[in-house]
Amino acid sequence: MTLEFEQLASSMDKMVQELSRQQNRQKAQLNLVLEQLAAYAASWEEIEEKIGRAVVLADEKYYRSAVPLHHSHPLDQGIPPSNPPIQATIVACDGSQIVPDRHAPFLYYLINIGTIAYYHGSGDSPDVFTAPTLKYPGADELDEDDLFTLNSALVSLWRDRFEIEALQDTIAKARPHTGPQLAILDQRLLYWPASGLPGREGQKVVEAWQQAMTGIREAGACLAGYIDRPGKRSVLTMLHSLDIDQPGFKVSELYRSALYAGLSDIDLYDPILAPGERSPVFLDISQHNNTFRGRDKENEVCFFYLRTGEGKRQLARVDIPMWVARNENNVKTVHALLYDQCAILGSYPYVITRADEIAVVGRRDQEELENRIALRLADLGMEARMTAKQQSKEFARGGKTRHEGY
């Protein structure tokens, strides 16, 4: 059915007016936080003292802030990249899935993990690996880790776990090379399942996640999580928290999104960072990071912002664990290699693009998989059918053909 745009005209007008008002509020708010950043740019002890008090006052569940990790670089200045090492091994991975569908001919789900080991400075072809996992009712029922599920959120959870475990495995089996090793994930390092997921399964995945982080550290590699166009506001919250001694300050105000007028940390650093520059490293302050630290203090997550390209808001957040963040040479290496990778394609790391491409399971792959299963079933004298609901959708969405005449 074609969208009837006339019915939406009035809503679109109101939306555009509200967006315009929001932009004006944001500009005003941004000027205020930039002034705050400049005022506290090198006030390390004062920031630590005030944030320390804010943490005590705040509800740990909702308070998400940051403190600068190093006291060597002003907060309102960018740090240019160093030259990358002559040689390095960069491993990236990504995952995709086919979720269970009651209307499909068969009940199954598939997780596909793609990994690439890129040998920077070698001139050699990277190594690529894929690891597909097919699960269906009845498979390995005795192993409670392998129980089939119809819950697509759970499938996503397991995909995340398989990703970081594949990263750890690939670091171990990448070709021996000189230079540092860097493992990159295409998501946040401070992994926490979305709310609403089965608690026990979520906890198992978080535990496995942290074990993999530890494994990567023990292999001697650096680890980073790369987040494109992040929405984090921890540095903004830090800046607002520095008003703790102002009259009328309420820590509960810091949990309200209205305070930020739609801004995030990258709006703060957008006018500050030149292409290739990064922000100082911050320690993430949050309940989840407290949990990470409690299990293994080396896994406590820090982050910095990196301008990857010349366009507006072309910034990424790079999460790094404490064992990387604490060592300025490691940070320089991560910064230099990531920016070098972004330069290959323009503004996004080449290895992550390739890992995504290797992992992706497209519609044609899915059709091919289901055809092959159907053929095998046919060999056994069985038939597979989709539900009438799915069949009618396929009819309605099917393509049109034209009578060609003579």
Partner 1 sequence: MNRQALEIGRVLRASTVGFSVGCRVNQLSAPGFGSLVKAQPAEARETIYGLIYNINIDDDQLIRRLVMVESPRQEVIEDQRRNRLLPIEMSVLSIGYQLYDQLTYGLPPRPPLNLDPVTLCQDPEEVTRFTDNLSYLRLILRAAGSSVPVDQLLVAHINDVYLIRGKDAAWALSAIHELIELLRSNYDILIPTLEALSEAVPELELSV
Contact range with partner 1 by CB under 8 A, out of 124-132, 210-218, 295-303, 321-329: 124-132
Closer CB to partner 1, residue 71 or residue 175? 175
29 binds partner 1 (CB under 8 A): no
Location of structure tokens 């909702």: 62
Tokens standing for 85?
Answer: 């090492």
Contact range with partner 1 by CB under 8 A, out of 32-40, 101-109, 113-121, 241-249: 113-121
Q: Are 357 and 337 in contact (CB under 8 A)?
A: no
Nearest distance in Å: CB 176, partner 1:
16
**What is the three-class DSSP state of 382?**
coil
Of 119, 158, 260, 303, the one binding partner 1 by CB under 8 A = 119
291 binds partner 1 (CB under 8 A): no
Q: How far apart are CA 242 and CA 261, in angstroms?
A: 18
Closer CB to partner 1, residue 33 or residue 88? 88
Nearest distance in Å: CB 59, partner 1:
46
Nearest distance in Å: CB 337, partner 1:
13
Of 50, 64, 120, 307, the one binding partner 1 by CB under 8 A = 120
Closer CB to partner 1, residue 191 or residue 350? 350
118 binds partner 1 (CB under 8 A): yes
Element containing residue 225 per DSSP (H, E): strand 222-228
Q: Of residues 310-369, which lie at the interface with partner 1 (CB under 8 A)? A: 343-346, 350, 353-354, 357
Q: What phi, psi does 278 have (nearest 5°)?
A: -125, 165
Exposed / middle / buried, residue 271 (Cβ in 10 Å: 0-12, 13-18, 19+): exposed
Q: For residue 239, how far is the Cα from the chain centroid?
A: 24
140 binds partner 1 (CB under 8 A): no
Closer CB to partner 1, residue 310 or residue 357? 357
Exposed / middle / buried, residue 42 (Cβ in 10 Å: 0-12, 13-18, 19+): middle
Closer CB to partner 1, residue 33 or residue 358? 358
Q: How far apart are CA 322 and CA 300, in angstroms?
A: 5
Exposed / middle / buried, residue 345 (Cβ in 10 Å: 0-12, 13-18, 19+): middle
Q: 234-241 and 9-39 are packed helices; what angle lies between their axes, rounded to 10 degrees?
A: 60
Of 1, 5, 14, 123, the one binding partner 1 by CB under 8 A = 123
Q: Are 89 and 369 in contact (CB under 8 A)?
A: no
Binding site for partner 1 (CB under 8 A): 116, 118-126, 128, 343-346, 350, 353-354, 357
